[in-house]
Amino acid sequence: MSSSSYKICFLASPAPEAQAAFAELTSLYGNHDVSDADVVVALGGDGFMLQTLHQTINSGKRIYGMNCGSVGFLMNDYRVDGLNARINASVENDLHPLQMKTINADGSKSVALAINEVYIFRQSYQATKVRVTIDGHTRLEELICDGLMIATPAGSTAYNLSAHGPILPLEAPLLAMTPVSAFRPRRWRGALLPNKVCVELDILEADKRPVNAVADNTEVKSVLKVIISQSSDRTARILSDPDHSWSERILAEQFSD
Check: CB of residue 239 under 8 Å from CB of residue 90. Answer: yes
Q: Is 154 annotated as a binding residue?
A: yes
Of the candidates 119, 90, 18, 72, the residue with the CA atom closest to the CA atom of residue 237: 90
Q: Is 47 annotated as a binding residue?
A: yes
Q: Is 174 annotated as a binding residue?
A: no
Note if 257 is an active site residue. Answer: no
- Length of the chain counted residue by residue: 257
Check: CB of residue 214 under 8 Å from CB of residue 228. Answer: no
Q: Is 104 annotated as a binding residue?
A: no
Taking CA 155 as the corner, what is the angle to CA 154 and CA 161, rounded to the nearest 5 degrees?
125
Alpha helices (runs of H) in the chain, residue ranges in sequence order: 16-29, 46-56, 83-89, 159-162, 246-253
Q: Is 159 annotated as a binding residue?
A: yes
Q: Is 158 annotated as a binding residue?
A: yes
* Position 29, amino acid: Y
Check: CB of residue 172 under 8 Å from CB of residue 190. Answer: no
Q: Helix (H, G, I), strand (E, B), or coil: what is residue 78?
A: coil
Q: 41 - beta bridge partners? A: 10, 64
Check: CB of residue 177 under 8 Å from CB of residue 95. Answer: no
Q: Is 116 annotated as a binding residue?
A: yes
- Kindly name the residue from 36, 46, 233, 241 that is annotated as catalytic: 46
Q: Is 29 annotated as a binding residue?
A: no
Rounded distance, CA 171 to CA 168, Å?
A: 8
Check: CB of residue 237 under 8 Å from CB of residue 94. Answer: yes
Q: Is 160 annotated as a binding residue?
A: yes
If you ran DSSP here, which 8-state letter would residue 118 be given?
E
Q: Is 146 annotated as a binding residue?
A: yes
Q: Is 163 annotated as a binding residue?
A: no
If you ran DSSP here, which 8-state letter would residue 167 be given?
P
Annotated binding site: 46-47, 116-117, 146, 154, 157-162
Annotated binding site for NAD(+): 46-47, 116-117, 146, 154, 157-162
Active site residues: 46
